[in-house]
Structure 1
Amino acid sequence: MSEQQAESSHLSRWRVNSPLVQVLATCLVVFLVPGMNSTLLLLGAGGGRPEHIEIVDKTNVVGASVTVVAGLFGGPITNKIGPKWTLMIAASSYPVWSGSLWWLDHTGGVGVTFAYIAGLFHGIGAGLFYAATGFVISSYSTESDRGRYIASFWAAGAAGSLASAVTVFGVTLSSGPQRTRLPTSVFIVIIAVQAVGVLCTALLVSPSTIKRNDGRSIARFKASTWTGDVKAMLRNIFTRKLLLLAPAFIASQTFMSFMGSLNGFYFDSRTRTLNNVIYWTSALISWGFIAFLCDSKLIGRRRARALIAAGVVASCLVAVWTAVIWFLISHPIDRHKKPLGTDWTNTLKAVPLLVIWVFMGGSWAMFQGYIVWVVGTFSNEPTKLSHFSGFAESMRALGFAIAFGIDSYKVAFLSEAGAYFALYMVGLICAALSAARYTTDCYYGKEELVVVPKSFDKVIGGSLPESGSIESL
């Protein structure tokens, strides 16, 4: 803790209504619920038979299409019923979706109707989930530690994916080469863990009861109607600074379909799970690095850090996508033929892509962490941040739906790689332009409803009063 923070602290940070404890509770839910989900996505075919890649792609398109709308309205819903209930409803969709993937695999494709229905429910849940978690992570943190809080959130998801990937890897390790699908026990464990995560949402409390260590609230919450909140959401997202970030959010999840399908088509079951372990280990480390880069006062002012971080992320993206394209050119793959089922023992064919997997995980984590951090520099108001988070998830889902839709037609991997590389670079350039124009060194004191943390009093010359209308969320 810095000297400045120590001077302003007099409440225990381990209270149930402290920002830190609430963020940790949210991270626990992320670890247990979507963390498990990502493992199934990157295994390809939802962890099932490679011949089901097309079906799983289409269920993902259905879900993501719904998320585009659900994400936009996730902010107003979170503001009305609170992050606790929003998150509980949202999290419950994840084990249902995982169960549908098991049923699809178990029935050999007969359970496709259930998979589509579950995908629809999961699409609604995902939109609400990230609006609610964005509300907590961004508004409960202060400007000085927002990068670390955001990184902790995404790292929790990566840690969950890593834990499940290691578990799956252990189960499939003894299965021998050429096995192309996961055993039922893996699906059961993932579904059970996600169900526990749903129960953990009960740890969240009302935002109006949150107190920082200095005894101050995070904001004053005023009552609003559904219509009023939707209008406010539209005003908040249709701004130049946020629309400039849209290409970056659209790009951020497109690789999931490409890498998941490549993983499922090119490798056998146990090598697919090894790739997951490699990927999420790299992502976990990279979250810490991007958090340091975005929050470090040693590097310069916040706008300078934003531009330096953009340069670092750009370098990583160019390196990894160039490697992906080189691999696909030197290893031609015909998606219309039988899946290759390559095992890691075939070093000449397997090792190059295994190495690429390491850097893909790291570059994705830094890209995601950077653009979410940039959004967090635009406001400290909880309701506005929930609108921003909902918009971000809506755009992610749009890119996700487009990518899985394209992949369902078995477009050549090389064509997909070239398109996604271009999309990532356009998105990053737009994000850097937004940061250069709109990121400021401090946003406290500019929003009427935000209560300024005591540690920032000297920065802005005083804080907003504590009095005001507070409505329970």
Structure 2
Amino acid sequence: MSDKEVNLVQGAPAPVDTAAYTTSDIPPRPPGWKYKGLKLPGCKEIWYASPKAQLLMVSFVCFLCPGLYNALGGLGGGGQLNATVQANASTATYAVFAIVGFFSGSFANKLGIKITLSLGGIGYSLYSASFLCYNHTKNEGFVTFAGAFLGLCAGLLWTAQGAIMMAYPREQSKGRYISSFWVIFNLGGVIGALIVLVQNLNNHSGTVTDGTYAAFIVLMFVGAVLALFLVNADDVIREDGSKVIIMKEPTWQSEFYGLWECIHLSPWVVLLFPMFFASNIFYTYQQNGVNAAHFNLRARSLNSLLYWLAQILGALVYGGLLDLPNIRRSIRAKGALVSLFVLTFAIWGGGYAFEKNQPPRQVTTDPAYESMKIDYTDPGYLGPAFLYIFYGFYDACWQTSIYWWMGALSNSGRKTANMAGFYKGIQSAGAAVFWALDGHHVSYRVLYGVTFGICAVSILVAAPVIWLRIKDTTDVEEDLKFSDEILEDVAPTAVLEEKRAAFETGV
């Protein structure tokens, strides 16, 4: 089963509110342990093969794998004194990711969702192992190779995660599902940063200890194993009794053709591409140009912890606001766009006030400068720390908004899968470009200016889509047209009729 089978296939959009059902309206769940309900005090009933349980498991896989990876990256330089090694590895990661991201659904469809996510975990674990190896051998080639392999694995993992997260929830719950995922995922960054902080309180070398990398290797491997306990998409049953409808054995041709059809039938999606491109580029400047350049290891560890905590806050705030029931969905979408534009100028404007007073890269990268970097006990620490916190908050608002907008544009599992593939592929292309710039020692001030400019302009480019294409409810006929165009050559008429009936009834 694949990430794109949750995707690939048509998840029933379930436009019907579960509250509208009576107990007799909802068909009984099949027998078996996967459907045995558990009801905790103050909570709704949950079962193993329910969307909530499965999304919770996917969240913890990402908590242990990319979440801990973020903690490592948040230190700047992957925890190394020489940030160029990590910059080159990240360039390899995102260059491969950019290519794999466009077609990862096709590969994952052949491998199955469990293997897809497990491979992702192995890639992250190997990446951490390469830094442990570098501590002793200074083998930059192995770190770069591990980065490239991670790009392959992460492309599969994130396409699976994105499509599942957008296809499983009902329309009125997508914001909460996205924010819940973002909270759990970023707890990985928080816990990882806490591990680094505790283990390196008295470390003044500028490079994290072997024990830190070893802990990350083990935890990431646990995440890879956890992915094997997911159920297949066709076993998942929603609260209203509806199931995800699976298109059996799609061909490679239909998969690649689907990417073209996504643009052909929805050409407006290209206006979102600049925001996709911008969605990871700010990490380069924030992590290496701010955190690694101007803070010592102890302060970097604390900054990373605060950064990922701020991500959790941002996800909770935006996820909750995007699902406010008393405000029309189209209004919420526009409000998110306007607020994100205001935040861009407010936070990055504060970033300029900090950046203009900092020494150039050639000074901050000199090993002798390490003893002069800001420590969290210094009087001047508080202001830059708050700036870094707001950078983390901004990132969560950006990512949550994009996921919610994509989910609001379609209930088609197939269509959201293709958009998720475009999103991660273009996002990774942007990250690869900016990590390459960092690896070539472009000045931090230039990185700041280009990052700020792209973020601001990309919001304006996306505005027509958010303003004109997001309605108060998703157009079922448009989703059906897209699906029928894609699947008519690979799915028998009976499957298409079943799919259409599911869309029209919500079950």
Q: TM-score, normalised by structure 1?
A: 0.89
> Match for 2:350 among 323, 331, 337?
323
Deviation at 1:68, TM superposition (A): 0.7
Q: Which amino acid aligns with 2:185?
A: G
Q: Which residues of 2 match residues 147-162 of structure 1 at below 5 A?
A: 147-162=175-190
Distance 1:189 1:223 in 2: 40
The alignment status of 1:465 with 2:501, answered yes or no, reads yes
Match of residue 313, structure 1, among 340, 345, 351: 340
- Given that 1:27 and 1:156 are in contact with CA atoms closer than 8 Å, whether structure 2 keeps it comes out as yes
| Residues in 1 aligned to 2:460 and 2:262: alpha-carbon distance in whole angstroms | 22
Q: Deviations over 1:419-473 (max 9, x none)?
A: 11111111222233211121122226333469xxxxxxxxxxxx95359xxxxxx
The RMSD of aligned alpha carbons is 2.2
- Give, in angstroms, the shift of residue 121 of structure 1: 0.5
Corresponding position: 1:213 with 2:213: no
- The alignment-based identity, stated in percent, is 26
The residue aligned with 1:281 is 309
Deviation at 1:346, TM superposition (A): 2.1
Is 1:86 equivalent to 2:116 in the alignment?
A: yes
Aligned to 1:38: 70
Could you tell me which residue of structure 2 aligns to residue 53 of structure 1?
83
Is residue 359 from structure 1 mapped to residue 390 from structure 2 by the alignment? yes
- Deviation string for 1:68-118 (max 9, x for gaps)? 1110011222344432222122221110011112222332x2x11111211
Matching residue of 1:26: 58
Choose which of 92, 97, 106 in structure 2 pairs with 1:76: 106
- Structure 2: how far apart are the matches of 1:191 and 1:342? 29
Specify the code of the residue in structure 1 equivalent to 2:385.
Answer: L
Aligned-residue offset at 1:237: 4.2
Question: Where do residues 100-115 of structure 1 align in structure 2 (5 Å cutoff)?
Answer: 100-107=130-137, 109=138, 111-115=139-143
Q: Does 1:187 align with 2:213?
A: yes
Match of 2:275 in 1: 248
Q: Does 1:437 align with 2:468?
A: yes
Question: 2:293 maps to what in 1?
Answer: 265
- Closer/same/farther in 2, CA of residues 133 and 186 from structure 1, 3 Å limit: same
Return the alpha-carbon distance in structure 2 between the equivalents of residues 351 and 106 of structure 1.
Answer: 35
1:441 and 1:381 mapped to 2: Cα distance?
A: 16
Which among 7, 11, 15 is matched to residue 47 of structure 2?
15
Gap runs ≥5 in structure 1: 451-462, 468-473
Contact 1:104 1:112 in 2 (8 A): yes
Aligned residue in 2 for 1:136: 164
Q: Is the 8 A contact 2:347 2:390 kept in 1?
A: yes
Please give the alpha-carbon distance, in whole angstroms, between the structure 2 residues aligned to 1:282 and 1:267: 19
Question: In the alignment, is the contact (CA less than 8 A) between 2:296 and 2:374 conserved in 1?
Answer: yes
For residue 224 of structure 1, report the CA deviation from its aligned partner: 1.9
Q: Which amino acid aligns with 2:383?
A: P
The Cα shift of 1:141 comes to 0.9
Contact 1:148-1:295 within 8 A present in 2 as well: yes
Aligned pair 1:119/2:147, yes or no? yes
Deviations 1:163-196 (A, max 9, x none): 1111211222243xx4311111111111100000
Contact kept in structure 1, 2:179 and 2:320, CA below 8 Å = no
- Deviation, structure 1 residue 220: 4.3
Question: Residue 420 of structure 2 is aligned with which of 385, 389, 397?
Answer: 389
Amino acid at match of 1:149: Y
Distance 1:168 1:244, change over 3 A: same
Distance 2:22 2:230 in 1: 26
- Please report how far the alpha carbon of residue 285 of structure 1 lies from its aligned counterpart in structure 2 after TM superposition: 0.8
Q: How far, CA to CA, are the matches of 1:39 and 1:361 in structure 2?
A: 12
Residues 430, 79 of structure 1: alpha-carbon distance in 2 compared, 3 angstrom cutoff: farther
The one-letter amino acid paired with 1:40 is L
Cα distance in structure 2, aligned partners of 1:287 and 1:5: 30
Spell out the pairing of 1:287-436 with structure 2 (5 A cutoff).
287-298=315-326, 300-336=327-363, 338=366, 339-340=369-370, 341-348=373-380, 350-436=381-467
User: What secondary structure is seen at the aligned counterpart in 1 of 2:314?
Assistant: helix
Distance in 1, Cα, partners of 2:346 & 2:313: 18
Q: SS of the counterpart of 1:181?
A: coil
The 2-side partners of 1:386 and 1:164 are apart by 30
Shift of 1:161: 0.3
- CA–CA separation in structure 2 for the residues paired with 1:68 and 1:430: 21
- CA distance in 1 between partners of 2:112 and 2:465 (Å): 30
Structure 2: runs of 5 or more not aligned: 1-16, 30-36, 38-44, 485-498
- 2:123 is the alignment partner of 1:98: no
Paired residue type of 2:87: D
Query: Contact 2:166/2:403 (CA < 8 Å) preserved in 1?
Result: no
